[in-house]
Every structure is written in C-alpha cells, then in structure tokens.
C-alpha cells in the first residue's frame, strides 16, 4: 500500500509541475513502476488463486525451503501454468521467514 501511495504522490507531483512555459526536472526523469505493478500482480494472483481452496497463509509463516516445496504442489492442484507458479513463488519467497 505504501508503494501505491508513493506512486500516486510522484505522479501527482509530476503532473502538478507541468504548467505552461516551464520545464520540470522531475518530468525529465522516467518513472519506473515495474516493481510496484509486479508486486500488485503477484499479490493479486496469490490471493485469487490460493484462496480458491483454502485460507491464505501469511507469507512469513514458512521458510524459503518450505515454500519451494509447497508452491509447486499447490500449483499442480490449482492447474497454474509455470509462469503463474513462478510469480507466486517469487512473491512468497520475498517475505519467507529465515
């Protein structure tokens, strides 16, 4: 949620600085939002696909090694393609407990 708020703030500031006859240094810099968009997509995919059969487990509940066993097994049961599986696995590994 913080990333979305920050993105909205940056976009708002950029648009506000674009008035007639001025050039803003902010507008010269490209705004990269790939990670925010990816996070939202991954979180949405995780929530939608994993909650179809059971409650969502907190990503911090399992270690990376446990998630690496859980996700492929669940992906088969949920008929996820390899891309969806990879997105979800990457998402849960970001917050896996040590």
- pLDDT average per 10 residues of sequence, the chain (98 residues): 49 46 44 54 93 94 97 96 95 94
pLDDT at 69: 97
Q: Which of 44, 43, 50 is nearest to 71 (CA)?
A: 50
Cβ atoms of residues 56 and 19 within 8 Å? no
Domain positions in the chain: 31-98
pLDDT the model gives residue 40: 74
Compute the Cα dihedral for 92, 93, 95, 96 and give only its sign: positive
Tokens in use for 6? 């920050």
How far is residue 85's CA from residue 25's CA, in Å, rounded to a whole number? 40
pLDDT tens, residue by residue, 26-48: 444 444 344 456 667 999 999 99
């Amino acid at each position: 949620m913080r990333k979305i708020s920050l993105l909205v703030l940056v976009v708002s500031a950029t648009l506000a600085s674009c008035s007639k006859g001025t050039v803003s240094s902010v507008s010269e810099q490209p705004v990269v939002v790939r990670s925010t968009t990816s996070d939202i997509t991954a979180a949405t995919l995780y929530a939608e696909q994993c909650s179809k059969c059971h409650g969502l487990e907190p990503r911090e509940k399992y270690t990376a090694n446990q998630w690496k066993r859980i996700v492929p097994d669940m992906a088969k049961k949920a008929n996820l393609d390899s891309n969806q599986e990879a997105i979800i696995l990457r998402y849960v590994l970001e917050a896996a407990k040590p």
